[in-house]
Chains A and B, each alone.
Chain A
Amino acid sequence: MKSNTFYAPKTIQELVELLKMKKERNDLYLVAGATDLAIHIKKQGILHFATIDLTHMDELKEIEKKDDVIEIGAAVTMTKLEKSIIIQVHGYALAGAAGRVGSTQIRNRATIGGNIANAAHCADTITACFALGATAVLLDSEGVFRELPLEEFVLGLGETQIKPDEALVNIRIPKGSTSIYSSFSKVGSRKNVTISKLNHAVRLVFKDNYVTEAAMYFGSIGPKPIKALNIEKHCIDREWNEALLLQLLDLGSKLIDEAIPTRTSRHYKRIAIKGVISDVFNDILSQREVI
C-alpha cells in the first residue's frame, strides 16, 4: 500500500523540527498548494514520498506591512496576493502577476513560495518580484533565518540556493512611495490559464513625468528573468510618453535578438515583446492618470 506521510506543522518551532528530519531524507517535500508537486510526482512516477504541508502555519499565510518592507508569507495564495490592497499599493506588478497565474482554481491553491521555490523559467511572480527588488527569507533546521536578494536566491531553471534543511518562509518587497509605479504583463499560448512564453515586469520611480529609476525584467527567455539594463538606462530622465514607447519597442526586439539569437522562438518573441512592453507602458500610463 501507499505509505505517504503527511506532516502539518503549525508553528515555526514545529517546522524547524521537521526540517531536521528533512535533512536526513530525500523523499520529503515541502508543499503548499501542491499545484507543482502533484505534476512532479506524476511525471516522475514517484510512489513513496512524504510531505511537510506549510498551509497550516498561520504566519506564513499573512501579508504584513512592516516599517520599510511588505512581508509576504510563503503560503500566501495567488488569489490573496492578487486581491490584497497592500500588494496593490506597494507591489502592483506582483498583484498583476499573481492574477494571471493559471486558472481561478489554481490561483486559489498555488502560493508565492511555491512559485518561487520551484523556480520555473516562466514563473510569473519571480519576474515581478525581481522588478520589485524582493528578498527571500529562509529558515533552516537550526531555527536560523537568512535573507538574501531574490535575484541571488533564484539560480536558474528549477534551481535555487535553498538547502535541503531550509524552507522558504517569506518574501519581502521594499515599501513603495507614491512616486513608484510597477506593472506586469505576459503572453502565453492563450489569454488565460496559460504558461508564459514571455513575461515582463517593471518598477519605475517618477519625478513629474520623468523616469528617475527603472527596473525592468523579462522572463521566460532564459533560465531566470533577464534584467534589461539597456532599456532601463534608456528610460532614465526620459518622459513617459508615446515617443519613448516607440523607442522601447525597438529596444525590446533588440533585447530578444541578443538574448536568444539562435532559438527559433526568437522570430516570434522579438515581435511579441512589443506587446508586453506596450501593455506595461499603457498600464503605467493609466495608473498615473488615475492619480
Chain B
Amino acid sequence: MDKELKYIGKRIDRPDAKDKVLGKTKYTGDMSRHGMLYGKLVISKKAHAKVRIDTTKAMAIEGVKAVFTYEDVPKKPYNSNQWYSGSVAEEDELILHETAKHVGDRIALVLGETMEAVEKGRQALIIEYDELPAVIGIEAAKKQSTIVAGETNLCFKKELTCGDVKSGFEKADFIIEDTGSTQKIHHAAIENHVCMAEVDTFGNLIIWSPCQVVFQVQHVTAQALDISYDKIRVVKSYIGGSFGGKGMPILEPICGFAALKTGRPVKIIMDRKDSIAATRTRNASIQRIKTGITKEGKIVAREIEIDFDGGAYLTNSSAIAVAAGKKAFRTYDIESQKYVGSTYYTHTTPGGACRGYGSPQVHAISEININNAAKKIGMDPVDFRIVNAVDPREYNEGAVDQIGMPAIGNARIKDCLIAGKEEFGWKERMESIKDKNTHRFAYGLGVAASAHGNGYHGSFPDYTNVTIQIMPDSRVLVKIGIHDLGCGTVLTMQQIAAEVLDISPDFINVPQADTHLSPYDSAGTQASRVTFVCGGAVKEAAELLKERMIKSYCDAFGCTQDQVWLKDGMIGSQSTEAMNYGSLATLCEDKYETTLKADLEYKSKANPSVYSAVFIEVKVDRYLGMVEIQDILVVQDAGQVINRTLAEGQVQGGAQMSLGMAICEEIIYDKKGNLKTDNFSKYHVINTPSMPLVKTLFIEKGEPLGPFGAKSIGELAAVAPAPALMNAINNPLGTNLTDYPATPERIIEALN
C-alpha cells in the first residue's frame, strides 16, 4: 500500500457488541406488535407419509385463532433456493405439504393469541400418517427401488475436467485410492429460525426476518404466495447466527401467508428440534478419490467422485455438486483431473448452504488422500503439498482457471504452507512426537490445505448497488443491501468507507438490508462475496464521493484538486479555510442544488481463490477413543485483513465448526428416517471446555481486485481444520479413518 492504513487491518470493536452482551439487543423473537398472533409449525414425524389432519378439536381451544394445513394454502410450487428470478430450478415445495417427504416436513401451522394456546392447539391436532416407503441415505437412493420425486432419485449430475485423465494416470508411478463419507451437519446457530410478518397501512406485506438475502425472501415469497414483488417488503432483523442455515426462506412465505390471511401480525418461532429437522442441513456425501503421483511426489492425475444427499426437495442439489467440484481445481496444480458430482433425492431434510458450500465436503476425503499419497512415497505431508500447490498468478483480465472459471488471482497457498510449517515447528514436532506416546495415549500431527472462492462472478450475476451520502452533521449514510450475520459485515463496510473518506467508522451508518430502502443487490450475504464484492462496491462508491467532495470544494473555494486534503472528517486546502464534511454537504445543497452523495452499480470484477493451511497436534485416548486437540494453527491467505479481531474470530469460529465435523457433529436418522439427534444433548458440537485456543496467522499479500487487497475469510475457515484433525488422528494410530465424524466409537472400532 502506498499510504499507511488508518482503519483497515486494525482492531476496532463492534458497535453492537455491548448491547448483545448485555442482552439488550432486540432479536426477532423479542419483537412484538399489538394484536400479534403466535405461530408454530407442525412438522411431520414420519419420513414419508400421506398426512391427514383433523383440526376440529384444536380449533375449539380457547385462544387458537387458526390452523392451516395443505388444504388452506396456495398450491403454487416454489424453490426456496432461488435467490433471483433468473436462477432456474424446478419448483417443488409448497408452504405446507399433504405428503410429508421427510421428518420435519411442514404439514400444518397453528396460530394463537398466546404461545400456550398454540401449544395446546398443536397437542389437540389429530394427525394420521399413511406411511409410505422411505429412502434414507445415498446408498438407498441409488438402489432406485423407491423414487422420491420424478423418474429417478438422481436429481443432478455434473462433470468437470481438465487435461486428459486417462493418459495422466498412465504417467503415474503410484495410484492412491480412498473412499469416505461426510455427514449431514446442523448449523447450530444460537437463534432458532424465527420470522414476523405484518401488513402495513399501505397494504405492503412486511416480513421481518433474520435472513441472508432479503431479495431472495422477496422473490420466494412472491412465488409462493403469488403476490407482487413490490408489495413485499423484507427487512433483515438482528440475527443470532446463520452459517448458511438461514439462507433459504423457510418460515417467511408461510408467515407472510398467515399475516395476510388473518389480517394480524404473526410471529412464528421454531424450537431446536424444528431447526434441526425442518430447515436445511449440510449435504452428506459419499466419495471416491483416486490420485496418481510420480515417485518424486508430483500429482499427475486425480479423479474425484462425490455423491451428495440432496434431501427431499430440490433446493440446492445442483449448486452443491458444482460448487464442491470447482474447489477441487484450485489448490494443487494437477494437469489432468476429473470431478463427477451427483446429487440424490432422499426422504431426509433438504440440503442447503452450510459454511463453505461444498468445500468442507470436497476437501474432507481428498485431503486425507493427499496424506496417504505422501505416505506412499515416504514424503512429509507438508512438503508434498508445497511441491504440488499452485503458484500465484498475476492478474490479467479474462484469465481463467483450469476449468474455465475466473482466475485464481494472488493465490498464496504455498505461503500458507511454508509459513505455517515454520510457525508451528512442524519439522521439530515430527521428529519428536512419538516420544510422547504412552500405552494409553497416542500423539499425532496433521495438516490439510483448502481453497474457497469470492462470490458468484463467473457463474451468476454478482453485482450490488450502493449509495453513500454525507449528512449535514458530517455523518455518513451508506445504503447497501448487506446482512450482518454476526460476522461483523457492518463494521467491515464502516471501516472500508472510513478509510477512503478519512473519517472515524463511528460516523458511518450502514443500515442492514431492507427491500424497500436498500438498493438492489443481486446475490445477498452468502457465497463469501460480501467483503470482496460489497466491500469493493463501498470502496469504489466512497472514492467517487471523495472525488465529488474535492471537486465541490474546489468549485466553492477556487483551489485546485491537488491542494485539497481530507482528514478526520474535515476538508480543506493549503490556502483556504477547512470545513467539516457536513458543512460541505449543506454548501452543496445551498449553492449547487445537489446532494453530496455517490451512487454506484458495482459489478464484481473477479473471483479469486482464498487458501488456508491448518496444522494440528492431537492426543488420542486408545481406550476411550477421545480426541484432545493439543495445538492448532490456522494460516489463511486473506489478501488484507480488514478487522483483525473479527478475522481472528471468524477463523476460530470456523475451526470450532470444522473440528466438530471431524469428531462429533452428525445428524443421524434411523432406517425409517426418524431423526435421532433432535437436540444438543444428542447432536454434539465441540463445547467451550474442549475447544483449544486456535492460533491464527494471516498471509496478507494483497488481492489486486479486492478492497484494499482483501478477500474472503469466514467460509474458508470452516474447511481445512476437519481433514487436518482426521490426518492428525490417523497419523499415530496407523488407521485410515475416512468416514466423518471420527467418533470415539469409530476410533475404537478402527483400532480393534
Contact = CB atoms under 8 A, between A and B. Distances in A.
Interface residues of B, number: 26
Contacts of B684: 189-190
A271 B748 contact: yes
Interface stretch (A21-29, A72-80, A143-151, A191-199): A191-199
Interface string A157-198: 000000000000000000000000000000101111101000
A191 B628 contact: yes
A272 B690 contact: no
Contact of A192 (B116, B120, B687, B749): B687
Interface string B104-125: 0000000000101001100100
Interface string A265-291: 101100110111010000000000000
A45 B119 contact: yes
B149 to A, nearest CB: 33
A1 B116 contact: yes
Interface in B619-645: 621, 623-626, 628
Contacts of B628: 191
Contacts of B686: 190
Contacts of B123: 45
Interface string B69-92: 000000000000000000000000
A268 B621 contact: no
Contacts of B743: 189
Contact of A189 (B120, B664, B689, B751): B664
Contacts of B751: 271
B745 A268 contact: yes
Contacts of A66: none
A265 B743 CA distance: 13
A267 B690 contact: no
Given A189-B664, A192-B687, A193-B689, A278 B748 contact: no
Interface string A113-129: 00000000000000000
Contact of B752 (A2, A265, A271, A276): A271
A1 B116 CA distance: 7
Contacts of B440: 275, 278
Contacts, number: 60
Contacts of A2: 116
Contact of B626 (A191, A193, A265, A267): A191
A267 B749 contact: yes
Contacts of B114: 1
A47 interface: yes
**Consensus secondary structure, chain A interface:** loop
B749 A268 contact: yes
Given A47-B120, A278-B440, A193 B687 contact: yes
B555 to A, nearest CB: 63
B748 A272 contact: yes
Nearest to B660: A190
A191 B689 contact: yes
Interface in B736-751: 743-745, 748-749, 751
Nearest to B687: A193
B116 A278 contact: no
Given A190-B664, A267-B745, A272 B624 contact: yes
A274 B116 CA distance: 49
Interface string A1-20: 11000000000000000000
Contact of B621 (A1, A189, A192, A275): A275
A268 B625 contact: yes
A190 B748 contact: no
Nearest to B746: A268
Given A45-B119, A191-B690, A271 B681 contact: no
Nearest to A197: B744
Nearest to B624: A275
Specify which of B120, B626, B664 lies most central, judged by the most chain A CB atoms within 10 Å of its CB: B626
A260 B625 CA distance: 19
Nearest to A187: B624
Interface in B525-551: none
Interface hub of B120, B664, B689, B752 (most chain A Cβ within 10 A): B689
A212 B25 CA distance: 62
A268 B745 CA distance: 5
A278 B623 CA distance: 9
A1 to B, nearest CB: 7
Contacts of A271: 623, 625, 748, 751-752
Contacts of B621: 275
A190 B749 CA distance: 17
B681 A195 contact: yes
B690 A190 contact: yes
Contacts of A187: 624, 626, 744
Interface in B671-704: 681, 684, 686-687, 689-690
A265 B625 CA distance: 13
A60 to B, nearest CB: 28
A156 B120 CA distance: 32
B186 to A, nearest CB: 15
Interface string B650-666: 00000000000000100
Interface string B182-215: 0000000000000000000000000000000000
Contacts of B623: 271-272, 274-275, 278
A241 B684 CA distance: 37
A7 to B, nearest CB: 21
A274 to B, nearest CB: 4
B625 A272 contact: yes
Contact of A268 (B687, B689, B690, B748): B748
B662 to A, nearest CB: 13
B689 A192 contact: yes
Interface string B596-630: 00000000000000000000000001011110100
Give the interface centre of A1, A2, A267, A271 by most chain B CB atoms within 10 Å. Answer: A271
Nearest to B623: A275
B721 to A, nearest CB: 17
A189 B690 contact: no
Nearest to A43: B679
Nearest to A264: B745
Nearest to B685: A190
A267 B689 contact: no
A167 to B, nearest CB: 27
A233 to B, nearest CB: 23
A269 B749 CA distance: 11
A191 B744 CA distance: 11
Nearest to B743: A189
A229 B114 CA distance: 56
Q: Which of B116, B120, B628, B745 has the largest count of A CB atoms less than 10 A from its CB?
A: B745
Contacts of A1: 114, 116
B324 to A, nearest CB: 28
A275 B623 CA distance: 5
A187 B743 CA distance: 13
Contacts of B120: 47
Interface in A234-281: 265, 267-268, 271-272, 274-276, 278
A192 B345 CA distance: 37
Nearest to B621: A275
Given A47-B120, A271-B623, A272-B624, A189 B687 contact: no
Given A191-B689, A272-B744, 7 more contacts: A189-B664, A189-B684, A190-B690, A192-B689, A195-B681, A265-B745, A268-B748
29 contacts: A1-B114, A1-B116, A2-B116, A45-B119, A47-B116, A187-B624, A190-B686, A190-B687, A190-B690, A191-B690, A192-B689, A193-B689, A267-B745, A267-B748, A267-B752, A268-B625, A268-B744, A268-B745, A268-B749, A271-B623, A271-B748, A272-B623, A274-B623, A275-B440, A275-B621, A275-B623, A275-B624, A275-B626, A278-B440
Interface of B: 114, 116, 119-120, 123, 440, 621, 623-626, 628, 664, 681, 684, 686-687, 689-690, 743-745, 748-749, 751-752
Interface of A: 1-2, 45, 47, 187, 189-193, 195, 265, 267-268, 271-272, 274-276, 278
The 6 closest A-B pairs by CB, nearest first: A275-B623, A192-B689, A275-B624, A274-B623, A268-B745, A271-B748
